Chain A
Amino acid sequence: MLYYIVRRILMMGPTLLVISLLTFFIIELPSGDYISNQIAALKSSGESSSVAKLEFLRKEFSLDRPFMERYLIWVGLWPGPHGFDGLIQGNWGWSFEFDKPVEQVIGPTLPLTVVLNFATILFVYVVSFPIGIFSATRQYSWGDYGFTFLGYIGLATPNFLLALILLYFFNRWFGLSVGGLMDPQYIDQPWSFDKAISVLAHLIVPTIVIGTSGTAAMIRRLRANLLDELHKQYVTTGRAKGLKENQLLVKYPLRMAINPFIADIGNLIPSLVSGSVIVSVVMSLPTVGPVLVAALQSQDQFLSGFILLFVAVLTLIGMLISDLLLAVLDPRIRLGGRASS
């Protein structure tokens, strides 16, 4: 098991490297950089006093070097103007737009981003698991039809539109501000029990909104897997030998059906993270989503680059956890070495 975990974590290294290179390439795609654009703007308005300062900044952030060098400096594998000082050394870069280190700009939003994403994954698990079992064991019952119908609606409604619709109706019917992280009266208040409750209440709606389509997909998947297993001979054998129905279900078919279920959660994580970014923008939650949009629009390259990388790493960690869970459950993967996908 330990061997598997170590192998799996080591495999993340090259992946991370490729992803960081890809990210850096994408954020460098727009022509020019933040500072040279500013210089151009200043020059066109005939102002040249602060150009010298900006030129200095360009040197300071080594924006004048070739691409590969800039990338390596950013990651921290190449000495910049101040020696090795990049992501590996814990320097997340400088946000030009906010004129602050990236760390300070998005530091406060990171915990919420992580919490929101893991809450969503948990929601998907907790909701789809019992419903999937229910639908499979009571196939063609009213409950089964009801959940299938809900599932189709959930799959088809894009989450940011769902967020918009919910925002509208909550506002209309309850006069409730669903957006934001807490009720307005708690903003800038010290932490208290009521404030925590308010934050939790505001997290419920986004969690549901982001998780709906994933939950619907998982229910369908678990139902199909379990139905396949339930019709197999060993289930009949177990029943004939007098096992109680619940015991039988938990001991044999469920264990078989749960495997692809957990593997699929890993595949779902990228879309969940995607969903959390845009839903946060719509519902104005202080996660990295709104900051990313702003950074992309103002071409604040180090800020947007770090957020993209952060989001990717979050996804990778989620997939790692789902892989490890799979290994715990399935000895074939633990001992055989690698997950078949």
Chain B
Amino acid sequence: MTMDVKNTPVREVEHYVDPTPFNPAVTEEMTAEQERYYQASQWKIMWWKFKRHKIAVWSGVVLILFYMCVPFAEVIAPYGANNRDSMHLYAPPQPIHLFHDGSFVGPFVYGMTSEIDMETLQWVFKDDPNNVQPLRFFCSGAKYEFWGLWEASFHLVCPAEGGTMFLLGTDRLGRDQFSGLVYGARLSLTVGLIGVAISIVLGLFFGGIAGYFGGWIDSLIQRAIEILRSLPELPLWMALSAALPVTWGPVWIYFGLTIILGLLDWPGLARAVRSKLLSLREEEYAKAAVLMGARPKRVITRHLLPGFTSHIIASATLSIPSMILGETALSYLNLGLRRPAVSWGVLLNEAQNISVVTVYPWLMAPVLPIIIVVLAFNFLGDGLRDAADPYK
């Protein structure tokens, strides 16, 4: 159906005009929520975005709990890491019970009776259901030197007087596995942090000069990175840590290891820094700053650096687990730390012989915290990486 427009009578359209004064800028005004968002600093927005990643937040909490072992290992562990109990060699884990004979006692463990199995010539430990040993909390137990500085005997939890508390069993020499794990966290968890710090410094330096100077320096560094990245890491780590002098003490070996782990890890970071630097340099705000007469120092520190620190932090977080695993693998193979230093890899060293592990499966206990920590770092790194680009 067609309508003849010309013939239709023109009808005045009634319209209403709001008498209140109109301010054209009103559309620009923002709600309180938006205002808060636009005025927030970059880091604040990243935090908001990070908070929405629930798994990453929980991973962070788990990691903080694990890292509490680093300063407070002596207090958390009921025994010293190298304390031997010759009466309890290869003792199985003592589970914590709450009820005895149907009545509530609070957390306690059953004492163990031991006898020698004459056929296999091994100690056999059995729970003694009459020997209830309630755990003590905030108590004084085995003596230790806190941070190697002053003597103390305060523990979060101790076994009953004259009793034992091997939550994860003991090893060949009667050393408590749980205490070993707590002390081991001190080295295993910090190896990654120091190693990453070294690799960040190297990565920033090489990536920075590659991105800044360009030309033949850039292509030289790029070639070096390509070659290093095409080498299998672990055999090189093994060779380098085998080169650490045998005469070095545990502390020096530890620092040597962190340097070795950091030395081979920087290419990835350097490449990230370089490409980020190159792309940020072309951003309009960087150009604007240059046009307005900002000097290179100001452009770099005020405009470029904030742009990629978040990325650096995220990718550094993602490379911590590989360092923790590297240390574990090296110590497991007897090429890294050795007793009296205790790390998770050193503890796993006891589990090298599979026939021993089948009889005493609790020797594999360090596997669990390693997997948890690695998983947590991966989730945390994923969350940080998503939050690193808050305006996306």
Q: Which residues of A contact B334 (CB under 8 A)?
A: 293, 297
Q: Which residues of B contact A18 (CB under 8 A)?
A: 227
Does chain A have a CB within 8 A of B272?
Answer: no
What per-residue 1/0 map shows which CB atoms of A232-249 lie under 8 Å from chain B? 000000000000000000
Does chain A have a CB within 8 A of B354?
Answer: yes
- Contact surface of A with B, Cβ cutoff 8 Å: 15, 18-19, 22-23, 26-27, 29-31, 152, 155-158, 160-161, 164-165, 167-168, 171-172, 179, 267, 270-271, 273-275, 277-278, 281, 292-293, 296-297, 299, 304, 307-308, 311-312, 315-316, 319, 341
By secondary structure, the B interface counts as helix
Does chain A have a CB within 8 A of B370?
Answer: yes
Known A274-B233, A297-B334, A312-B232; judge A158-B242 contact (CB<8 A).
no
Contact call B242/A30, Cβ cutoff below 8 A: yes
By secondary structure, the A interface counts as helix
Tell me, rounded to whole Å, the shortest Cβ–Cβ distance linking B323 to chain A. Answer: 12
Contact call B245/A31, Cβ cutoff below 8 A: yes
Contact call B227/A164, Cβ cutoff below 8 A: no
Contact call A296/B238, Cβ cutoff below 8 A: yes
Contact call B367/A165, Cβ cutoff below 8 A: yes
Known A164-B351, A304-B239; judge A273-B232 contact (CB<8 A).
yes
Give CA–CA (A156, B371) in the complex, Å.
Answer: 6
Of B117-125, B184-192, B325-333, the one touching chain A: B325-333
Q: Which residues of A contact B329 (CB under 8 A)?
A: 158, 160, 278
Interchain CB contact (< 8 A) of A15 among B230, B243, B245: B230
What per-residue 1/0 map shows which CB atoms of B209-238 lie under 8 Å from chain A? 000000000000000001101111111101
**In this complex, what residue of B is CB-closest to A288?**
B235
Interface size class of B (residues with CB under 8 A): 35 or more
Contact call B229/A270, Cβ cutoff below 8 A: yes
19 contacts between A and B (CB under 8 A): A15-B227, A22-B227, A22-B231, A30-B242, A156-B321, A164-B354, A164-B367, A165-B364, A270-B229, A270-B232, A270-B233, A277-B232, A293-B238, A296-B335, A297-B242, A297-B335, A304-B242, A315-B230, A316-B230
Does chain A have a CB within 8 A of B357?
Answer: yes
Q: By CB atoms of chain B within 10 A, which of A15, A26, A179 has the most?
A: A26
Contact call A161/B370, Cβ cutoff below 8 A: yes
Give CA–CA (A316, B232) in the complex, Å.
Answer: 10
Known A152-B375, A278-B234; judge A293-B364 contact (CB<8 A).
no
Give CA–CA (A96, B101) in the complex, Å.
Answer: 66
Give CA–CA (A155, B376) in the complex, Å.
Answer: 12
Cβ < 8 Å to A, chain B residues 341-385: 348, 351, 354, 357-358, 361, 364, 367, 370-371, 374-375, 378
